[in-house]
Each structure stands twice: as C-alpha cells, then as structure tokens.
Structure 1
Amino acid sequence: MSDLIRDSAFGRLVRLVSSKKYFTYAEERDPSLWKKYVHEEKSGNAAHHGHVGAHGDDSDTEDRPTSGIGGVRTREGLTEPPRSHSSSLASSQTQVPNDGHTYNIASGVRVDPERGKDIHVIDWHGPDDPDNPKNWSRNKKFFVTFEICFLTFSIYIGSAIFTAGITDVVRVFGVSEVAATLGLTLFVAGYGLGPLLWAPMSEIPPIGRNPVYIGTLVVFVLFQIPTALASNFGMLLAFRFLTGLFGSPVLATGGASIGDMYRPQKQAYGLAIWGIAAVCGPVLGPLVGGFAAQAKGWSWTIWELMWLSGFCLVFIFFLLPETSSSNILYRRTRRLRKLTGDKKLKCEPEIMAENMTKKDLVFMALVRPITLNFTEPMVFFLNLYIALIYGLLYIWFESFPIVFVGIYGFNLGQEGLAFLGIMVGALVTIPPFFAYLHFVQEKQFNENGELKPEKRLPPAMVGGFFIPICLFWFGWSARPSIHWVVPIIGSSFFSVAALLLFNSVLSYLSDAYPDCAASVFAGNDFMRSSFGAGFPIFASAMYKNLGVNWASSTLAFLGIAFIPIPYVLYIYGERLRKMSKHARKDF
C-alpha cells in the first residue's frame, strides 16, 4: 500500500514538499544499489556502435562488443559508488588500461571514437523487478485496473447522462430538440479530438500518464460548474464541448494503461473489463440522470456528473500509481543521477526522446494519428467498423424515448431502467469470452509470449452478427402488443457485439502496430467519436419518418455490410502487414 500511495500524485507531491524525506525509494536508502540497475550489455552496445540494440551484423564477430575491462557488476576491485552529488561513477577506483582508449565504465567496453556513445544505460534489474508494472502483484494490478475502469466510467457517463435532460433544455432555452441534442454531440466530439493531443503526450517519458489523467480531470470537474449554471444556450454548448475535450484522455489511453500492466497473454482480460466500464457509462447515464432530470431539471444531471467525477478525482489522486514503464524508468534514472552525480546515467526512453525534434513531436501528436488512419488499410477499415458501431449505438439510443415513453408509457426515470438490458448483455458475455481466452487463445502464444495479430480476430468475426440480430429484434418487437421486456432482451445483444468487437480490434491494433499504438488508438477514438457525434443529429427525424421498425432495420443492414471486414483481415492481414511501413512484420 505504501508503494501504491508513493507512486500516486499525492505521494509525489509529498516527496516534493518534504524534499524526499517521506515515501523514499530503495536506491535513496541505499545508494549502492545503482549497480543492479545498470544494464551492462546495452551500455556496451552503445559504447561499441552508438545504440543500445544489438549490432545489425551479428555474423561479423570482429565487430561485436568485447568484454574490455569487465562490466560494473563483474569487475574485481570496484569500490562502492561515491555518495557525493559532485562525484561520478568514473571516479571509482577502477583499474582502466593505459592504452590510450576510452572505456565505458558501466560495461567495460571500449568506446568506439566514431560511432560509440559513452553512456550508462539504466534498466530494470532483471525480469522480476518489482517496479516494472508487469511484475506488480495480482491484487495491485486488479486494483489499478478498477481505478482505470472507474475513471473511464466517470467520463463516459457524461455523454448519455445529458440525454435525460434534453426535454428540459428545450423548454428552458427555447431551442429545438435537434439543437438541444448538440449538448450530447459536442461532448462526444470533444472526447474524440482530445486524444489527438493527450494520448501522445502521455507517451513522453518525462510526463507519463498520471499528470495527464489528473490534470485534465481537475479541469473536467471544475468545468461542470459553469455548464450547470449556463445562462444561455451558447454557453452550455461551449462548456459541454470543453468538458468532453478535457475528459477524453482515459477514453483512448486507458487501454494503454491496461497494457502497461499485463503481459500479452493476459491483456485481453483487462481490456474486456475496461470495455465493460466503457459500456456501463452510456448505459447507466440515462438511468442516473433520468430521475434527477424528472425531479430537478436538466442542470441536476450535470451536478451528478460533477459529484461522481469529483469523487473519482480524489480517489485516483491518492491511490493511482504511474503505470508508464518509460516514465518509471525515467524517474529512476533521474534519481540515480542526483545520487551519484553521474550525468552519463540514461535510460532508453530518455535516449529516444533526446533524438526527437520538436517537429517529430508535433508529427507524432497531431499528424501521425490521422495519417495512420487513412494510409493503413487495416487501421482504416477496423476504425471504420468500430466507428460505425459507436455511431449506431448513439443513434439507436435516441429511439429509447420513442419506444419506452411513446409506446410503453414509461416516465423519464423508468426509461433509464430500459438501458439495463445492455449492461446485462455485457456481463453475461464475460464468462464465455474469458473461457475462450483461457482455453483457446492463450495456447496460441509462442514461447516468447507473442501472438500473430490475426489470431485476435475470431471473436470479432462472431460479434459482428449480433449487431443486426439486436437491431432487427429491437425494431420489430417494439410495439404495444408485445411486452416491453422483449425489446429490452433484444437490446442486450448489442453489448455482446460491442464487447467482442472492441476487444478484438483494440488487441489486434496494439499487436500489429506496437511502436505507434498510442497514435493508432487516438485515431480510433477520433473516428468513432466523430460518428458518435454526428449520428444523433438526424436520429430523431429518422425514427419519426421511418418508424422504429424500419429505422432500426436500416441500421441493421449497415451492420450486415461490415461483417466481412474481420474475415478479410484474418485471411489477408499478414500480407497487408508485410506491405505496411508501420506494422509489425516479424511473424
């Protein structure tokens, strides 16, 4: 628990205020531990040929790093590192050959005068380093996963919770129903645009994920106040967009936080639970907001959102640790530099960041998510499929008042209860899906813990059929002569499809594009949020003109048209990956 709090925003603040007197790290209590954090092989590679990876031509034995004077942990006679901040590793009493060459102290390898870099690479001290998020205890991983899910739920509920007050917004501000719907669509548009900035920022080693999560959530919570107190319709729409923009980081980066902790064989489990939290937000929004809007008006839906997200802010401020391994290594390296005074201590993420220009950062943050989306066929079609599902979800939600209020006579609060069928469908899907992951998919990983990306797609190949099943069932059973529970049962199939599709697609994209996963996820979030923002605008007119049955059927036919996409990628995905500039090609 102390480590959990130490690595949270609260713990880092306490360390700063107390000048690191409290919540100390092991190396601060025992500076001699620096030796176990130095990666001798990577330091030797950097000294020999300028980068930490193995040399490209392994066949040339003459061109490989040699042992030199021996590494920092293997040399005999190496004294403890000096504890003065003005000293360095190089000042330790090490016998260096007087042959006119420079030797890398960490690895003992001679520094190549043309290509070599004299740096001491800091890394995990082996595969079991407890500071590596992938080595955290199971209970710690489960707790942090719950926090990410809670944060995701607290933001996602902000979209649908507003729909319960749309009728009151029409009355209070004197606008049309279509105009009032902009309060929903602009929020969704905001959290589609936000990840283009926030997701790549969370990948920068000196920043990490926590400052992005905490900083934007503070703004999200505070902006609920002017939203609820909006004196005119323009002010309401402006702050709905801004709250969506600042609430967006976890909606795209939450999956990356899950990936930080779980090894590839187990990531799908964490992503599935995260997916349930994402589904529960829009589903429970009308339920939570319905009774409040019915009793107190539209502004109380916003106050509820502020209370929920405010509690979440306090919770994660004290208890959410940093999950980015790049940031954890960066902060470890910075601590060791201060303890030893050795400026040559650097970690891999830091080295990579030093080689990036401002132009590279702008390209990664703003350009790459868009270019990957439209230049990579795999990314484009899978993002388009997910965007369609997202758009269908939000346009379909607009039919619930027509069906359950107009046909079955529910009041505003009771209408929110009708959405629970979708959540039940997600919960029922989890056990068989986890059984598939355990008994089938985990056995397909190779000895290195790797899986061919196309092996992630079978659940999506099944899930695609549940979209038309849901919409046909819902559309043609929603009539006075059929009990209201029947369309609710039909609605549950949507979450079956969403869970299987989202999990498979996000896992596939992260496996196929490991070096630019944040940008791929940001592009995915942008595209699906664009559909989610645009579709509800014409939903009301569509359902009124076509009727519930044919409007739902039209959406079902769209779902049928996209079913072949995962099948095509399952067959041709490997060929497309080998033609790509960015996708992984080694298996």
Structure 2
Amino acid sequence: MPAFTATSDKCSRKERRPANSGQSNSQRPLNWSPLKKVYHTIVPSLFAFLTTFSTSTPEPALPSLIEDFGINHTTAILSVSLYTIGLAIGPLFLVPLSETYGRRWIYVTASSSLVAFSAGAGAAHNFAAYLICRFFSGCLGSASIALGAGTISDLWPPGEERAVASLLFVACPFLAPSLGPLVGAYITNAHGGNWRWTQWILVFVGLPIWAMVLLMQETMAPQESHRFSRKMSANPILLPFRMLFSDWIIMALSMHTSFGYAIIFSFFSSFFYVLKNKYGFETREASLCFLGLIIGYFLAIMMFLVMEKTIVGSKRLTSEGRTTPERRLYSGIIGAVLLLVGELWYSLASHWASSWHVLASSGIFVGWGVLELFLSAMTYISHIYPPESVASAIAANGALRYSLGAAFPLFTVQMYEELGSPWASGIFALLSLLLMPIPWLLCKYGERLRRSIVSGLPCEEVPTTVSA
C-alpha cells in the first residue's frame, strides 16, 4: 500500500459516497468535543505505555529466574525476547481487522489479555508456562502500539494538532522500556529478589488502564463504499506484509527505526554488563544509568516541537501556505546524526572512560537520536497515508522493529564478551553510519516516490482520502 498525494482524473470523476457516511456531523470522531478527543488519545497512549513497559521490566530479575527455574542466561533472556516477538506478530493480524471491523473491540480484547496473561506469568510454576503467558501477553496486547496511530488519525485532522497527539502516543512506548529495568530492579529488591513481582506490577498498573479502555467509544468510521475499501477489507491481514515488502518508503523507514529501537534493547543488556564488570555496579545502581536515555527522549520531544512549529508548520516557507510531508523528515536527519554520535561516544567511553558518568552520558545522545528518528518517521507516515491504512503502515513498521528488538538481547552480552566493549559498540556505530542517509534520501526523493507509485496504480486502488 503506497503513499498517496492525489487521485487520477478518471477516479475523481467517479461518484463516491463521502467519508463517515451514515453518521451525523456531531457523531464523527473528527467533530467530537476537544475533551472527548483528548480522552481517546490519552487512553491508547497509556495502553501503549503499559504494553512496552512489560518488555524490559523482567530484565533485572533474570538472576532470580535463573536460580528459581535452573536455567542459563540465554534461556532466561527468552522472557524478554518472546514477549517482544509477540509484539511483532500480533499487530500484523489484529490491526488490519480493526480497519475493517472497528477498533474498540480490539482495544478491549487486547487490554484484557495483557492483564490476564501478566497475572498468569506471575503465577506460573514452571518456565514453559511462564514463557507461554509472556508470549500471549505480548501478542494479544500488542494491538495498542499500532492501533493508537490509527485512532489518532480518526480523531485529529492533518496538521499541528495531529502532530502533537502523535507525539504523545509515540513518546509513551519509548519512555516505558527505559523505565522498565529501573522499576523492575527496585521492586524485585524490595520483595527479596522475587521475580514474580515484575509481573504483579504490570497487573496493578494495567487494571486502571483496562477500566479506562472499557469507557472508550468506537473511533473508526464506517467504511466508504469505494473499491479501495472493499479490496482492503477482502485481504486485511495481507496489507501490512504488502506494505513492508513492496513499499519503498515503509521499507526504508522500518529498517532505520527498527535498528534504532534494537539499539535501545541492546543497551539494556550491555549497560548492565559494562557497569557491573568495569565499575562494580549492582543491579539497582546500573538501572539508574538508563535515566540518560530518558533525558535524551525529553530533548527529542522538545526539538521535535520546536521544528514542528518553526520549520514544518511555517506557512512562509511555501507559496501555497501548506507544508510538504517531507519536511517532517528534517528532524529524522538530525536524529540519525545524534544516534551515530551516541554510539561512537559509548564505544570510546566503554574502553577509555575512568568515570561511569561519561559512559552513562552516551545514553542521552542515543535516546535523543532514536526518538527523533521515530517521531519523524511516524508523523511522516501518518501524513502521507489515508486514515484507514495508517494503522497497517505502523504495524508493518512494528513487525520489523520488534523482531530486531527481540533478537538483539540474545547476542548482545556474548558479543561484548567476545569482542570487548569498544569493538562491539563500534559495530553498532558502523551500522548507524550506513543507515544515516535514509531520511535525507527520502526527504529528497520522497515526493517523487509517492507520485510515481500513484501514477502506476489501477484506479480501484486509489483512495479518496488524501493527507497533506
């Protein structure tokens, strides 16, 4: 499913029913009251926070898992990796169904499943049962991550309001995994090293969010009666796969953002390894160093808001008083540079730095760069795709992103043990350098890509909804 900027003359001459047909103006989500729209933005953001918070919370409790179940470190890491694989798989099946049958019932099912399987994982008496509950908790709860992007497109028109709403939704899933190890370390220590509390805390946090989800209303408008919608509904599950492997824009952005996200997951393992072995930190002390990532996230948010207001949203920069979607990639160009700086800093500091402060500071640039990349990519996607396919575009991105996030922790520690901290971090820096031109290339050729794809499509695949 490619990006769209215009419809052909042949298509435009066809009579089509207006969007949201069958609904009065007041019933359409775009025309809801501001308070109602804010509520339906905050709840998916909190749900996405809970979903991603669960990815890294068990990380500090791995020694407890190893002792309790008699397993090795690589096997224990599966508690993180299988959950993350569930996050990659789930949206590919759940999100396209929401675009055909509605979003609310999937939100309710997903939030109920996440809380229930987290409770099951906390009560598990063998490692196999624990892993099964972790996988299904991630798989069925994963809809929140990609579904929220579609919900925001349902509620907010293209422009500054949608950008701010998207910022909130994107920031929550990034903030959560970095807080997970910190919360997991302290709650495990407070309960005598009992790993089960890393799951009970998810239940306690999840129940209020689940109650808020129950109060949500449907935001997905009835499907329009044109051929595009009928074709999309006929093959809803195939849409994210098609986007990931045939759309150059989605493919390129997914590669870059997925690598950045995987770097964050590798940090969870490598930080613990380096800080414990070089500086003699214990688990709680090491987890505090993840605050550098969080500082970087807030810097990314501030930069994004400033650029959205001054560069992207400036009407003086266009003759027609409208911005182009590719301007939303400017912050991604900066983010790519910051990510490379952070990786080089981490590589050098892990070998030469005598103070742990220097090493921990590298996380600021890594977090700043990764979130800047992701904010740029997600807002760009939400502005070039019609609302009825935004969630599938995000699901396609998430499939690759969480697959890499699941894989990287499985070999990070072994990589640092075999190569040493400077060389292992240097490899990640080299990959950052190779991927750095992607947002610049899309900024330069993105409009041409969108137009060439649209011109080659048969009429029935061109949607009526066009985003600025």
Q: Paired residue for 1:168?
A: 64
Summarize the alignment of residues 58-457 of structure 1 with structure 2, pairs less than 5 Å apart. Answer: 122-125=22-25, 129=26, 131-204=27-100, 207-266=101-160, 267-294=162-189, 295-318=192-215, 320-324=216-220, 326=221, 330=222, 349=223, 351=225, 356=230, 361=233, 363-365=235-237, 367-444=238-315, 451-457=323-329
Q: How many Å separate the matches in 1 of 2:322 and 2:97?
A: 27
- Do 2:297 and 2:371's aligned partners in 1 also have CA atoms closer than 8 Å? yes
The 8 Å contact of residues 264 and 450 in structure 1, kept in 2 or not, is answered as: no
Is the Cα–Cα contact under 8 Å of residues 220 and 243 in structure 1 kept in the other structure? yes
The reply to whether residue 495 of structure 1 matches residue 367 of structure 2 is yes
Supply the RMSD in Å over aligned alpha carbons: 3.0
Change (3 A) 1:455 1:407: same
C-alpha change, 1:449 and 1:405, in structure 2 (3 Å) is farther
Q: Which amino acid aligns with 1:309?
A: G
Say whether 1:537 aligns with 2:419.
no
* Amino acid across the alignment from 2:381: L
Q: 1:362 to 1:388 in 2, by over 3 A?
A: farther
Task: State yes or no: 1:551 paired with 2:430.
Answer: no
One-letter identity of the residue aligned with 2:244: N
Query: Whole-Å Cα distance in 2 between the matches of residues 355 and 469 of structure 1?
Result: 44
For the residue of structure 1 that corresponds to 2:420, the secondary structure is helix
1:458 matched to 2:330: yes
Equivalent residue, structure 2, for 1:10: none
Alignment partners' CA distance in 1, 2:462 and 2:431 = 29
Structure 1 residues 546 and 183: alpha-carbon distance in aligned structure 2, compared to 1, 3 A threshold: same
Bigger relative contact order (CA 8 A; separation at least 6): 2
Rounded to whole Å, the distance in 1 between the matches of 2:252 and 2:146 is: 18
CA distance in 1, matches of 2:282, 2:321: 52
1:564 aligns with 2:437: yes
What TM-score, normalized by structure 1, do the two folds share?
Answer: 0.70
User: In the alignment, residue 258 of structure 2 is paired with which amino acid?
Assistant: A
Deviates more, 1:155-164 or 1:256-265: 256-265
Deviation per residue, 1:378-420 (Å, 9 max, x gap) = 2211111111112222122211111222222332222222111
The answer to whether the 8 Å contact 2:274/2:350 transfers is: yes
Find the residue that maps to 2:188 and give its secondary structure.
helix
Shift of 1:162: 1.2
CA contact (8 A) 1:388 1:531 kept: yes
Aligned to 1:464, the other structure's residue is in SS state: helix
1:155/1:133 CA distance change after superposition, 3 Å: same
Q: Deviations over 1:143-165 (max 9, x none)?
A: 43322221111110100001111
Query: By how many angstroms is 1:558 displaced?
Result: 0.5
Cα shift at 1:560: 0.8
User: Does the 8 Å CA contact 2:82/2:131 hold for their aligned counterparts?
Assistant: yes
Q: Distance in 2 between matches of 1:281 and 1:145?
A: 17
2:63 alignment partner AA? T
Partner Cα distance (1:471, 1:426) in 2: 16
Tell me the percent identity. 27
- Cα 1:442–1:180, aligned 2, differ >3 Å: closer, same or farther? same
CA distance in 2, matches of 1:586, 1:226: 43
Unaligned runs of 5+ residues in structure 1 are 1-52, 59-63, 66-115, 331-348
Q: Deviations over 1:207-248 (max 9, x none)?
A: 422211111111111112221122222222111111110110
Letter in 2 for 1:555: F
Q: For 1:252 and 1:354, how far apart are their aligned partners in 2? A: 21
**Structure 1 or 2: more helix by fraction:** 2
TM-score by length of 2: 0.87
Is the contact made by 1:189 and 1:529 (CA closer than 8 Å) also made in structure 2?
Answer: yes
Task: Please state whether the residue corresponding to 1:164 is helix, strand or coil.
Answer: helix
Cα 1:210–1:353 shift into 2, 3 Å: farther
2:47–2:111: 8 Å Cα contact kept in structure 1?
A: no
Paired with 1:402 and 1:236, the residues of 2 have a C-alpha distance of: 25
Alpha-carbon spacing, 1:361–1:479, altered in 2? closer, same or farther (3 Å): same
Number of the residue aligned with 1:23: none
Deviations 1:9-28 (A, max 9, x none): xxxxxxxxxxxxxxxxxxxx
Partner of 1:14: none
How far apart in 2 are the matches of 1:430 and 1:164?
A: 28
Paired residues, number: 446
CA displacement 1:320-356 (0-9 Å, x = unmatched): 34333x0xxx5xxxxxxxxxxxxxxxxxx26459983
Q: Which residue identity is paired with 1:211?
A: W
- Equivalent residues of 1:407, 1:480 under 8 A apart: no
User: In structure 2, what is the Cα distance between the partners aligned to 1:121 and 1:159?
Assistant: 40
State the AA in 2 paired with 1:501.
L
How has the CA–CA distance of structure 1 residues 447 and 522 changed in structure 2, closer, same or farther, with 3 Å as cutoff? farther
**Contact between 2:325 and 2:384, CA under 8 Å: does it hold in 1?**
yes
Task: Sort the Cα spacing of 1:362 and 1:483 in 2 relative to 1 into closer, same or farther, 3 A.
Answer: farther
Displacement after TM superposition at 1:264 (Å): 1.3
SS in 2 for 1:258: helix
Quick check: 178-187 or 257-266, which moved more? 257-266
**1:134 shift after superposition:** 2.8
Quote the Cα distance in structure 1 between the aligned partners of 2:146 and 2:285.
Answer: 32
* CA shift digits 1:355-374 (9 cap, x unpaired): 837xx645222x22112211
The amino acid across from 1:122 in the alignment is G
Q: Decide whether the 8 Å contact of 2:254 with 2:401 is kept in 1.
A: yes
> 2:173 is paired with a residue of what secondary structure?
helix
Max Rg structure: 1
Q: 1:501 Cα shift?
A: 1.1
CA distance in 1 between partners of 2:196 and 2:234 (Å)? 38
Counterpart contact for 2:41–2:165, Cα < 8 Å? yes
